[in-house]
C-alpha cells in the first residue's frame, strides 16, 4: 500500500479534530507544562496562513458545481488540496490557541467567542471536506457550507483582533467620536477624568478582563492597585521606582516596553501626567481643582480637560524646537508644553539620587520658553540659582525641600516675571529672603517649615502687601487634626507557616496601637506595635494611630489567613457558572484573595447548582479545619452559602461527612463583606477532601430578586 501526502494529511486532520475535542472536554483539569507553552504562543504567528487558504478554498467550493469547472479535473483536485491544507492548518492553529488560553491573563466572554468560533470553523470545514464527495452533497449544500465557513472565519478573526488590539478595533476609525467631550475643569476628578482615560486609550486593549496580559487589568482603580504578575504597578509617592514608568521609559525595541512597539504610544504630556499623579501619592478621589493652583499635575490636567483655560497667558516668544524638547526628556527630567499651540514650557526634575547641576545647564536652548520649573526635593544649592536666573520668562519656581540656604536668592531679582516662589522646608532666613520680597510681580511666597520665626514672617508680610506669604500648618498642639491611618507594608494576606506583619506611619512620633481579638484599639490598653508582629494563625488585625496633640486615626482592619496545606489536585465535581469560573479550580488555592470586584477574575461563582470540589493529596495530611472566603454583596444577589459540607476519606469513593456549617442568614440592609466560613473538626489524616457549597435557592421577600436563586462567590479555600 502506497502512502500519499494527501492520505497523511487526511489522517492528521482526523487526529487533530479528536485532540481538539479532548482539549475542550478536559479543559478545567489540564495544566499546560512549561515546555509546551512556546507551542501555544505560536498561535498568532501562523493563523494568517490558514485564513488565506480557507478563504480561497471556500470561494472555489462556492463555484465548484458550475458547469465550466465541474468537468475540469485540475480545478477539482486543486480545490480539494486547498481545502485539506487550510482545514488542517486551522486545526493546528486552534490547538495552539487552546494551549495558549490556559496561560494566565486569558479570560472572559470575548475569549469564549473567539475559541468557539475558531473551533466551529475547524469542525465545519472538516465536515465539508469529509462529505464533499458524497452523492447527496449538491450545489446548495456546497454554497451554504462555503458561506457559513467564511462567516465563522470572519467572526473568529474579529474576536481574535479584539482580544489582541481591544474591542471595536476594526470599526474604531469610523465609529469613534471625532471630538471627545471633556469634563469641565471645575467638576473633573484627577483619576476618573485624567488618568483613567490615558489607560483606556493606551493600555486597555491588552489589560482588560478579557485579556489580562501579565495578570494585569487596568479597567478599575482596584485592578490598578493590585498590579499584576510582575508586581505592583506603581509605588505612591515614588515615580522613580514605579514599574509603570520604568516600562514606559524602556527603549521602544525592548520587549518589555509598554505600550508594545506597533501600538499607540504615550505622548510626553501623558507620561508627565502619570509621573506627577504617582508622585502625588496616586490619589483616587481628589478633584483637579483640589490641587494647588501651580501644581504641575493641575496645570497639565487643565490642558487635557479645557485647553482654553491653560492659554490665558499670552507669550511673545517663539516655540522651542520639538526635536530639542524630545532630546531633553529623559528618566529624571520631563519637559512639556503647558497648552496646545502655546510656546510656554514647564520642566520637572526628579530622582535626587542622580541629580547634577548639569540638569539645569542642559536647558540652555529652551531658557526663553521655560515658564515653570519644579525642583522640589532635589539637592539644589545656592550656586545653581545663577543658572536659574537665566530663565528670563520664568513665572513659577518650586524649590521646596532643596538645599537652598538663601545666600543666592538675590540672583532671582533678574526674574522680572516671577510670580510664585516656593521655599518651604529650606534653610532660608529672614535676612536672605528680604531681597525676594522686592520682586515686582511676585504674588505668592511659600515659607512653611523654615527657620523663620512667626514675628519675622509677619514683618515680611507687612513689607509687601502684594505678596501673599503662605506658612502652612504648624503643629503647636492648640489646633489638633486627625491622623491618617497606619499603612500595612505586607502585600500578601495568606501565609503557610508564619507572617512578619509590618506597619508604619508617615508622621514622626506616632504610636500604633492594635488588637487581634476583634475589639477596637484604644490609646492606653491596646498593644503597642513595634517593628513587626509575627502571625502564626489566621488573624483579624485592627489598628489605629495616636499622637499627643492630634486626634486618633480611623481604624484600619485587615484579615490575614493561614493555609498550611496545598492540594496536589483540585477539580470540580459540579462546575461553577461559565461566567464566573475565573482560572478554573486552581484559583481556589492560589493564595490570592479577591475584593468586591466580581469580575476581577478571582472569584468562582455558582447560582443554579451547588458547588462541589474534590481535593486530592498524594500524601495524607493531618488536618483539622477548612475555611472558605466568600463574598456578601446583597444588591448583586451575592450572598453567603446556606450550608457548607466537608467530606473526607482515604479513597474518593469512601468519603464520610466531617462537618456541616450553616452561616447566619443575611438580613435586609446587610453591608457588603468578605466572610470567613470556618469548619473545625477532630484532627485526622486526609487524602481526599470534598467540599460541598450550597447556595440559597430562593432570595427572601425583602430582596428585589425575591424567589430567584442567589449567587455564591468563593475565592479561596484555606486548609489547616
pLDDT at 641: 93
Which range is most confident: 20-29, 222-231, 653-662?
653-662
Query: Of the residues 562, 590, 619, which one is the last residue of a structural domain?
Result: 562
- Whether 614 and 685 map to the same domain: the answer is yes
Q: What is the pLDDT of residue 503?
A: 87
pLDDT more than 70, % of the chain? 85
Q: Which of 411, 435, 470 is the last residue of a domain?
A: 470
CA distance 116 to 576: 19
Would you state the pLDDT for residue 515? 93
On whether residue 303 sits in a domain, the answer given is no
Mean pLDDT of the 88-105 span:
72
For the chain, the residue count is: 720
Q: What is the mean pLDDT of residues 308-319?
A: 64
Q: Pick the range with the lowest mean pLDDT from 1-10, 93-102, 138-147, 577-586.
A: 1-10
Q: Is 578 helix (H, G, I), strand (E, B) or coil?
A: helix
In a domain, 307, yes or no: no
Number of domains in the chain: 5
Same domain, 422 and 321: yes
> Dihedral sign, CA of 104, 107, 112, 118?
negative
Q: Select the more confidently predicted residue: 563 or 33.
A: 563
Residues 693 and 634 in one domain: yes
Say yes or no to pLDDT of 623 above 50: yes
Q: Are residues 636 and 657 in the same domain?
A: yes
No. of helices (H) and no. of strands (E), the chain:
19, 23
Residue 121, SS3 per DSSP: helix
Query: Grid coordinates representing 442?
Result: 511676585
What does the buried/exposed string (b/e) look like for 582-620 if buried means 16 or more CB atoms within 10 Å of the residue's CB?
A: bbbbebbbeebbbbbbbbbbbbbbbbeebbbbbbebeee
Grid cell in block for residue 70: 465541474
> Does 514 have pLDDT greater than 90?
yes
pLDDT value at residue 287:
83
- pLDDT per residue as tens digits for the range 346-356: 888 877 777 88
| CATH number of the domain where residue 668 is located | 2.60.120.1190
Residue 247, phi then psi, degrees to nearest 5: -70, -35
The reply to whether 573 and 557 lie within a common domain is no
At residue 448, does pLDDT exceed 90?
A: no
pLDDT, mean of residues 20-44: 67
Q: Does residue 32 register a pLDDT over 70?
A: no
The SS3 call for residue 96 is: helix
Residue 459 resides in a domain: yes
Residue 106: pLDDT band (50, 70, 90) is: low
Quick one: pLDDT at residue 1? 42
Band (174; pLDDT cuts 50, 70, 90): very low
Mean pLDDT of 548-556: 83
CA–CA separation, 223 vs 241, rounded Å?
19
- The pLDDT score that the predictor gives to residue 479 is 45
CA 578 to chain centre: 23
Confidence check: pLDDT of 646 > 90: yes
Phi and psi at residue 438, in whole multiples of 5°? -85, -10
Q: Check if the beta carbon of residue 604 is closer than 8 Å to that of residue 611.
A: yes
Strands 611-632, 673-694: pairing kind: antiparallel
Question: Helices 48-62 and 73-100 meet at what angle, rounded to 10?
Answer: 140
522 and 625, same structural domain? no
Q: Place 164 in a pLDDT band, splitting at 50, 70 and 90.
A: low
What's CA 21's distance to the chain center, in Å? 34
Query: Is pLDDT of 473 > 80?
Result: no
Q: What is the pLDDT of residue 660?
A: 93
- Average pLDDT for 9-17: 79
* 20-29, 43-52, 656-665: the lowest-pLDDT one: 43-52
Distance CA 286, CA 510 (A): 26
Q: What is the pLDDT of residues 199-224, one digit of tens each?
A: 877 777 677 655 667 777 777 777 77
pLDDT the model gives residue 480: 57
Comparing 55-69, 133-147, 199-213, 653-667, the range with the smallest average pLDDT is 199-213
327 in the same domain as 412: yes
Band (29; pLDDT cuts 50, 70, 90): low
The answer on 112 and 45 residing in a single domain is yes
Query: Is pLDDT larger for residue 88 or for residue 359?
Result: 359
DSSP alpha helix (H) spans, 474-537: none
Per-residue confidence (pLDDT) for residue 688, from 0 to 100: 93
Please check the confidence at residue 459 and state whether its pLDDT lies above 90. Answer: no
- Structural domain span for residue 17: 5-165
Residue 668 has a pLDDT of: 86
Mean pLDDT of 184-199: 80
What is the β-pairing status of strands 604-606 and 712-719?
Answer: antiparallel
What is residue 671's predicted lDDT score, i.e. its pLDDT? 82
Burial pattern 29-67, b for ≥16 Cβ within 10 A else e, equals eeeeeeeeeeebeebeeebeebbebbbebbebbbbbeee
With respect to residue 476, please indicate whether it lies within any of the assigned structural domains: no
pLDDT of the residue at 648: 92
Query: For position 166, what pLDDT does the model report?
Result: 55
- Model confidence at 509, pLDDT cuts 50, 70, 90, reads confident
List, for residues 394-417, the tens digit of each pLDDT value: 999 989 888 999 898 989 989 988
Band the pLDDT of 380: cuts 50, 70, 90. very high
Q: Tell me which residue of 626, 565, 635 sits closest to 598, measured CA to CA.
A: 635
Looking at residue 493, what is its pLDDT? 82
User: Do residues 586 and 570 make contact, with C-beta atoms less than 8 angstroms apart?
Assistant: yes
- Asked whether residue 478 is assigned to any structural domain, the reply reads no
User: What pLDDT sits at residue 133?
Assistant: 79
Q: Are residues 159 and 235 in the same domain?
A: no
Residue 283 above 50 pLDDT? yes
The pLDDT, as a whole number, for residue 527 is: 92
The DSSP result for 3-65, as a single string, is: --HHHHHHHHHHHHHHHHHHHHHTGGG----GGGHHHHHTHHHHTHHHHHHHHHHHHHHHTTT
Tell me the mean pLDDT in the region 29-34: 63
Helix residue ranges per DSSP H, 434-488: 454-463
Give percent of the chain with pLDDT exceeding 90.
14
Is the pTM value of this prediction over 0.75? no
pLDDT, position 513: 94
Q: Give CA–CA dist 695/643, Å, rounded.
A: 7
Spatial separation of the C-alpha atoms in residues 364 and 387, rounded to whole Å: 9
Q: Which of 506, 536, 562 lies at the terminal end of a domain, its last residue?
A: 562
Q: How confident is the model at residue 475 (pLDDT cuts 50, 70, 90)?
A: very low
Cα 588 from Cα 144, distance rounded (Å): 45
- Give the pLDDT band (50/70/90) at residue 543: very high
Span of 158-167, 396-405, 409-418, 623-632 with lowest mean pLDDT: 158-167
What's the pLDDT score for residue 183? 67
pLDDT given for residue 147 in this prediction:
86
Please tell me whether residues 573 and 713 are part of one structural domain.
Answer: yes
CATH number at residue 412: 3.80.10.10
User: In Å, how far are 66, 104, 425 from 118, measured between CA atoms?
Assistant: 29, 20, 63
Residue 585 lies inside a defined structural domain of this protein: yes
* Domain contains 71: yes
Q: Does the structure show a pLDDT above 70 at 584?
A: yes
CATH number at residue 540: 2.60.40
13 and 157 fall within a common domain? yes
Q: Would you state the pLDDT for residue 178?
A: 41
Residue 183 lies in a domain: no
Cβ pair 404, 423 in contact under 8 A: yes
pLDDT of 466:
85
Lowest mean pLDDT among 168-177, 422-431, 526-535: 168-177
pLDDT digits (tens, 9 = 90+) for 325-346: 888 887 678 888 876 677 888 8
563 within 8 A of 590, measured Cβ to Cβ? no
C-beta of residue 3 within 8 angstroms of C-beta of residue 81: no
d(CA 27, CA 627): 27
360/263 same-domain check: no
CB-based burial label for 632 (10 Å; 0-12, 13-18, 19+): middle
The band of 188, judged by pLDDT with boundaries at 50, 70 and 90, is: confident
Amino acid at each position: 500500500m502506497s502512502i500519499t501526502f494527501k492520505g497523511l494529511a487526511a489522517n492528521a486532520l482526523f487526529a487533530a479534530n479528536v485532540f481538539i475535542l479532548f482539549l475542550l472536554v478536559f479543559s478545567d483539569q489540564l495544566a499546560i507544562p512549561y515546555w509546551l507553552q512556546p507551542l501555544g504562543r505560536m498561535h498568532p504567528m501562523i493563523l494568517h496562513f490558514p485564513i488565506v487558504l480557507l478563504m480561497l478554498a471556500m470561494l472555489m467550493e462556492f463555484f465548484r458545481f458550475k458547469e465550466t469547472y465541474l468537468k475540469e479535473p485540475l480545478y477539482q483536485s486543486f480545490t480539494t488540496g486547498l481545502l485539506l491544507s487550510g482545514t488542517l492548518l486551522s486545526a493546528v492553529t486552534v490547538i495552539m490557541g487552546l494551549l495558549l488560553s490556559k496561560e494566565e491573563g486569558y479570560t472572559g466572554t470575548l475569549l469564549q467567542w473567539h475559541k468557539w468560533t475558531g473551533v466551529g470553523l475547524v469542525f465545519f470545514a472538516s465536515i465539508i471536506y469529509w462529505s464533499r464527495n458524497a452523492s447527496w452533497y449538491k450545489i446548495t449544500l456546497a454554497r451554504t457550507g462555503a458561506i457559513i465557513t467564511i462567516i465563522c472565519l470572519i467572526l473568529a478573526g474579529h474576536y481574535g483582533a479584539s482580544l489582541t488590539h481591544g474591542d471595536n478595533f476594526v470599526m474604531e476609525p469610523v465609529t469613534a467620536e471625532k471630538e471627545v467631550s471633556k469634563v469641565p475643569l471645575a467638576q473633573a476628578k484627577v483619576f476618573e477624568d485624567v488618568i483613567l482615560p490615558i489607560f483606556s486609550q493606551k493600555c486597555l486593549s491588552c489589560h482588560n478582563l478579557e485579556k489580562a496580559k501579565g495578570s494585569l487589568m487596568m479597567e478599575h482603580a482596584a485592578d490598578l492597585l493590585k498590579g499584576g504578575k510582575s508586581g505592583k504597578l506603581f509605588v505612591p509617592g515614588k515615580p522613580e521606582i514605579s514599574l509603570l514608568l520604568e516600562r514606559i521609559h524602556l527603549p521602544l525595541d525592548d520587549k518589555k516596553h509598554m505600550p508594545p512597539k506597533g501600538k499607540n504610544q504615550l505622548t510626553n504630556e501623558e507620561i508627565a501626567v502619570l509621573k506627577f499623579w504617582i508622585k502625588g501619592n496616586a490619589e483616587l478621589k481628589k478633584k483637579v481643582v483640589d490641587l494647588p493652583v501651580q501644581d504641575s499635575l493641575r496645570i497639565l490636567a487643565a490642558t487635557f480637560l479645557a485647553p482654553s483655560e491653560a492659554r490665558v497667558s499670552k507669550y511673545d516668544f517663539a516655540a522651542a524646537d520639538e526635536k530639542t524638547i524630545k532630546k531633553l526628556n529623559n528618566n529624571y527630567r520631563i519637559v512639556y508644553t503647558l497648552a496646545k499651540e502655546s510656546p510656554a514650557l514647564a520642566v520637572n526634575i526628579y530622582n535626587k539620587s542622580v541629580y547634577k547641576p548639569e540638569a539645569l545647564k542642559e536647558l540652555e536652548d529652551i531658557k526663553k520658553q521655560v515658564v515653570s520649573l519644579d525642583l522640589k526635593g532635589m539637592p539644589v544649592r545656592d550656586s545653581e540659582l545663577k543658572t536659574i536666573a537665566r530663565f528670563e520668562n520664568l513665572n513659577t519656581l518650586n524649590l521646596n525641600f532643596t538645599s537652598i540656604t538663601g545666600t543666592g536668592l538675590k540672583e532671582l531679582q533678574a526674574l522680572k516675571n516671577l510670580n510664585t516662589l516656593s521655599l518651604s522646608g529650606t534653610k532660608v532666613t529672614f535676612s536672605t529672603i528680604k531681597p525676594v520680597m522686592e520682586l515686582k510681580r511676585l504674588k505668592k511666597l511659600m515659607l512653611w517649615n523654615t527657620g523663620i520665626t512667626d514675628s519675622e514672617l509677619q514683618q515680611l508680610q507687612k513689607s509687601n502687601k502684594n505678596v501673599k506669604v503662605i506658612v502652612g500648618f504648624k503643629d503647636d498642639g492648640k489646633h489638633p487634626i486627625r491622623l491618617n491611618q497606619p499603612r500595612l507594608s505586607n502585600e500578601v494576606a495568606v501565609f503557610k507557616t508564619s507572617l512578619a506583619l509590618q506597619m508604619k506611619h508617615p508622621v514622626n512620633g506616632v504610636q500604633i496601637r492594635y488588637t487581634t481579638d476583634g475589639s477596637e484599639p484604644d490609646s492606653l490598653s491596646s498593644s503597642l506595635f513595634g517593628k513587626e508582629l509575627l502571625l502564626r494563625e489566621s488573624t483579624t488585625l485592627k489598628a489605629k494611630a495616636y499622637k499627643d496633640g492630634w486626634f486618633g486615626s480611623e481604624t484600619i482592619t485587615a484579615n490575614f489567613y493561614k493555609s498550611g496545606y496545598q492540594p496536589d489536585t483540585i477539580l470540580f465535581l459540579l462546575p461553577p457558572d461559565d461566567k464566573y469560573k475565573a482560572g478554573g479550580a486552581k484559583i481556589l488555592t492560589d493564595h490570592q484573595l479577591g475584593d468586591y470586584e466580581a469580575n476581577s477574575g478571582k472569584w468562582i461563582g455558582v447560582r443554579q447548582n451547588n458547588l462541589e470540589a474534590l481535593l486530592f493529596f498524594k500524601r495524607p495530611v493531618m488536618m483539622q479545619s477548612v475555611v472558605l472566603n466568600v463574598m456578601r454583596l446583597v444588591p448583586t444577589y451575592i450572598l453567603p452559602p446556606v450550608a457548607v459540607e466537608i467530606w473526607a476519606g482515604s479513597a474518593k469513593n469512601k468519603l464520610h461527612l466531617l462537618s456541616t456549617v450553616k452561616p447566619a442568614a443575611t438580613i435586609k440592609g446587610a453591608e457588603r463583606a468578605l466572610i470567613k466560613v470556618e469548619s473545625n473538626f477532630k484532627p485526622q489524616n486526609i487524602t481526599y477532601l470534598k467540599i460541598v457549597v450550597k447556595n440559597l435557592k430562593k432570595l427572601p421577600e425583602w430582596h428585589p430578586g425575591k424567589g430567584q436563586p442567589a449567587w455564591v462567590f468563593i475565592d479561596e479555600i484555606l486548609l489547616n
